[in-house]
Amino acid sequence: MLVRPHLPGYRWFHVFRNAAIRTGVYVGVCLTLVFTAWLVIANHAPFLERFALERNVAAASILGFLAAVPVFRFLRLPGHL
C-alpha cells in the first residue's frame, strides 16, 4: 500500500517547515486572539466593569507570556530556531 508523503495542497505550506516562521505565526495568531477577546470583553460585558483591574492584569500577563514564547523556545533549542 502506498503512503502519500504530503496531503494535496501541501506545497502552499512548505514555508512552515522552518521552526522560526512556524513559531512566529502561531504566536502572532494567539496574540491576536487574546487581544481581540480582551477588547470584546472590555467593550461588550458591562457587568464585568467592577473587575476591570483584574481583567487587565490577567490579559496583560497572558499577552506577556505569549510574547515570551519565542524567547523560551530559543533558550531551550537555540540551534533549531
pLDDT at 81 > cutoff 90: no
pLDDT category, 20, cuts 50, 70, 90? confident
Q: How far apart are CA 45 and CA 33, in angstroms?
A: 17
Question: What's the whole-model pTM score?
Answer: 0.74
* 63-72: long-range pairs with CB below 8 Å, 24+: 63/31, 63/34, 63/35, 63/38, 66/27, 66/30, 66/31, 66/34, 67/27, 67/31, 69/23, 69/27, 70/20, 70/23, 70/24, 70/27
Instruction: Write out pLDDT tens, residues 29-73.
Output: 999 999 999 999 999 988 888 999 999 999 999 999 999 999 998
Q: What are the counts of helices (DSSP H) followed by strands (DSSP E) for the chain? A: 2, 0
